[in-house]
Amino acid sequence: MSQNKFTETDTETFYNAEDSLYRSFWDSEGSLHWGYFLDLAATCAEDFIPACQRWNEYMLENSRITASSKVLDIGCGNGNTAIWLTEKTGCEVVGIDLSNVRISNALEKARNYPSLRLQFHKASVTNLPFSDRLSWIYETKDTQQLEDKYDAWSAIYDTELDQPYRISPIRSAHALAKVLPNKDARILDAGAGTGMVGEALAELGYTNLTAIDLSEQMLEAAREKQVYQTLYRDNLEAPVNCSTPSSFDAIISVGVFTFGHAQPKALLNLDTLLVSGGFFVLTVRVDYHDNNETLQELLEDLPWILINRDEFTIFEQEPIYTIVFHKK
């Protein structure tokens, strides 16, 4: 019986055994990936390495990778592309591969470049060996970079975060429902992303939802869920142009005020959109909330009364607060 599905162990065994064979006829340095050939009709073996390099250049040109970037190279092989990318841009590259032979080769090569920011790990993309799986998004340096990252993440965001994260928008929606019985209330989802919060609110019967997010691609994913009446691309750190003052009976913001994301001062912009007597639900990491003095000062100065604070965990070990405020 023929086998039509290979396991990760099969793949690891194959590449461990065949590395030297590929080097004998493909590339002595161990390059093994896609290439961009100028003329497929007249291609010969000598065109392979230039085609690989051409493909590297093409990817870099379209990636917006800079010296401040941290890149995960999945299936890094012998580390050639990772080393080239780090030399070219000054970025940090973490390479993973199933093959311990190829990771050993990559580590050996990296010793020749002690000044470069390189890491190589034997690991599977289905079980990444990083304790903080969202460090790449929390380490964002500016608004444009944040928008680019979320645009790129939008296609797989829900799939990747469904099990470990969805409890956060659900718990946040239920926290609002405890204080806002009117299902027709005007609710703003500030930093709506792909619409997980909107889905949770719609499940509870709320019908008048507005979404704002920095990323157009995240908003496209949210739009497909058909739970929002209106959606706007806007930056919460600037005066929000899509709505007039006192437009909403409630505002909910989940996972937006955190490391590398919206600064606490954006709460001042959102406060102008909330009616007197309205509710604000703020869901944040416990460590961010407890250690950010600017956030603490703003929450003291805003005309908001603390009603409730609930603590739970996402990603099995990350403590989260959902805090409900009532505007005077």
One-letter amino acid at 221 equals A
The domain spans of the chain are 8-130, 157-327
Q: CA-CA distance, 187 to 87, in Å (whole number)?
A: 48
Three-state DSSP class for residue 310: strand
Which CATH superfamily is 157-327 part of?
A: Vaccinia Virus protein VP39 (3.40.50.150)
Q: pTM for the full model?
A: 0.71
pLDDT classification of 1: cutoffs 50, 70, 90:
very low
Both tokens of 315, joined, read 């990603």
Question: pLDDT tens for residues 208-221?
Answer: 999 999 999 999 99
Three-state DSSP class for residue 187: strand
Q: CA-CA distance, 86 to 100, in Å (whole number)?
A: 22
Q: 263 vs 32, 211, 237, CA distance in Å? A: 43, 19, 7
Q: What are phi and psi of 305, to 5 degrees?
A: -105, 125
The answer to whether the 8-130 and 157-327 domains have the same CATH topology is yes
Give Cβ neighbours of residue 227 (< 8 Å, ≥ 6 apart): 195, 198, 199, 201, 202, 209
pLDDT classification of 38: cutoffs 50, 70, 90:
confident
Quick one: DSSP state of residue 41? G
pLDDT exceeds cutoff 70 at 191: yes
pLDDT exceeds cutoff 50 at 20: yes
Which CATH superfamily is 8-130 part of?
A: Vaccinia Virus protein VP39 (3.40.50.150)
Question: pLDDT tens for residues 142-171?
Answer: 899 899 989 989 999 999 898 889 999 999
Q: Which residues pair with 206 in a beta bridge?
A: none
